[in-house]
């Protein structure tokens, strides 16, 4: 739109940006007969048909967490070679301590040497949330936007990092201070990867599931409350032992609800234009706590400590009964998640909330549980925050 004033001409540009991406569950992603990893992102039927008929080899650049590579490297290599793929595999130590621009630049240098077509040859990221975040940022920077695919190998990444648009790395001792909102062209979810994940990391992922349960879905809370320990024991796999045959059904139901509720929140607000975000529950204090005690707490553990404190804030605000508060805390303990940490002082809480004010339009916009499976946004008084912290520490 053009407008003229005495100072000159001004143009206002309104450019709608639409992102379309697929989140697909597919068992046996590394089975050579399953072409989802190579072709599952393609939505144009003619393009898909042409690719299948072509004698030219498919070209793929794969970034994989080095611990995941130790377990699945041989299987991944066999998959790519059986499918006649021209490939490069880059195995990296994608940990929270290494989540930096240095690693992003390392990836883009390797991608540049491999010489990808930025339209038709997506970069594939295989690993936990840190790996998916780093590769996503590298892809969004290389030639301004190169398509990429996410394959989560941890529970937390499966129901959280893999299905949204956020990418990022840590900077200036702050979590994800550099990043972009560029979603993958596809996320491919294979629950069988979870069977090789250590028990603590299963627990870590359950924290993000519990977040969505408390904010949006009482039914999911009840599944976690009643069967969370079974999910921990069976690692979300089919199991014929003491638990019988319903393990996989429960695992599928729990992950389905967690993903659906997460996408319901993310899809209309992919760029976080609306700052009232239910998915921020557990993420007000946890970033500062996680960075302060790195590497002693996993992401989900720090989130759960934040949620645990906020449950006390909610109780003191009159949104939860004592019984509901206790049920939530007991559920957390049953999921083998930490519910308190000595580093989560009142000073750290106040500093985190002050920082939140700077980036949330002058309001804390604190999501709190209101009963089980419902939520409210609240500007809580200092008196309630202090009282809740005192009780939380005492108990």
Enzyme catalytic residues: 166
Cα–Cα dist 281/314, whole Å: 12
How far, in Å, CA of 320 to CA of 174, rounded? 32
Token reading at 32: 């050579």
Tokens of 99: 């989540």
Whether the CA torsion 73, 147, 276, 380 is positive or negative: it is positive
- Residue 351's contacts (CB-CB under 8 Å, 6 or more residues apart) are 288
Whether residue 364 has a cis bond before it, omega within 30° of 0: no
**What are the tokens at 24?**
């697909």
Residue 100 CB burial class (10 angstroms; 0-12, 13-18, ≥19): middle
Tokens read off for 95: 């940990």
* DSSP-based three-state secondary structure for 238: coil
Reduced to 3 states (helix: H, G, I; strand: E, B; else coil), residue 121 is: coil
User: Whole-angstrom Cα distance, residue 85 to residue 101?
Assistant: 29
Residue of 296, 311, 383, 300 lying closest to 342 (CA atoms)? 296
Phi/psi at 251 (nearest 5 deg)? -60, -45
In contact, 337 and 206? CB cutoff 8 Å:
yes
Nearest-angstrom CA–CA distance, 228 and 221: 9
């Amino acid at each position: 739109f053009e407008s003229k004033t005495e100072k000159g001409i001004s143009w206002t540009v309104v450019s709608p940006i639409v992102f379309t991406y697929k989140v697909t569950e597919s068992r046996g992603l590394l089975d050579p007969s399953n072409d989802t990893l190579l072709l599952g992102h393609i939505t144009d039927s003619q393009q898909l048909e042409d690719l299948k008929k072509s004698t030219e080899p498919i070209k793929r650049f794969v970034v994989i967490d080095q611990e995941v590579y130790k377990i699945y490297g041989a299987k991944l290599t066999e998959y790519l070679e059986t499918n006649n793929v021209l490939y490069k595999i880059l195995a990296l130590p994608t940990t929270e301590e290494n989540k930096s621009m240095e690693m992003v630049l390392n990836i883009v240098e390797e991608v540049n040497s491999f010489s990808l077509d930025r339209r038709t040859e997506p970069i594939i990221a295989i690993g936990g949330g840190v790996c998916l975040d780093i590769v996503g940022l590298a892809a969004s920077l290389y030639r301004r936007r190169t398509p990429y695919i996410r394959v989560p190998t941890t529970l937390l990444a499966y129901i959280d990092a893999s299905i949204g648009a956020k990418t990022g790395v840590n900077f200036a001792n702050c979590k994800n201070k550099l990043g972009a909102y560029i979603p993958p062209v596809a996320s491919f979810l294979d629950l069988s990867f979870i069977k090789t994940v250590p028990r603590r990391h299963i627990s870590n992922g359950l924290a993000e599931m519990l977040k969505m349960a408390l904010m949006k879905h009482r039914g999911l809370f009840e599944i976690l409350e009643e069967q969370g320990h079974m999910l921990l024991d069976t690692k979300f796999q089919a199991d014929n032992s003491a638990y019988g045959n319903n393990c996989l059904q429960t695992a599928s139901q729990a992950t389905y609800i967690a993903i659906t509720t997460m996408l319901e929140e993310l899809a209309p607000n992919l760029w976080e234009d609306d700052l009232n975000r239910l998915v921020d529950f557990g993420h007000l204090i946890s970033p500062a706590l996680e960075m302060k005690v790195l590497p002693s707490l996993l992401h989900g553990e720090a989130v759960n400590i934040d949620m645990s404190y906020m449950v006390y804030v909610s109780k003191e605000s009159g949104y939860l009964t004592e019984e509901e508060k206790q049920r939530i805390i007991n559920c957390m303990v049953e999921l083998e998640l930490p519910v308190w940490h000595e580093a989560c002082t009142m000073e750290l809480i106040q500093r985190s909330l002050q920082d939140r004010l700077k980036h949330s339009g002058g309001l804390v916009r604190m999501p709190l549980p209101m009963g089980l499976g419902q939520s409210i946004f609240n500007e809580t008084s200092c008196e309630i925050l202090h009282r809740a912290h005192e009780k939380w520490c005492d108990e």
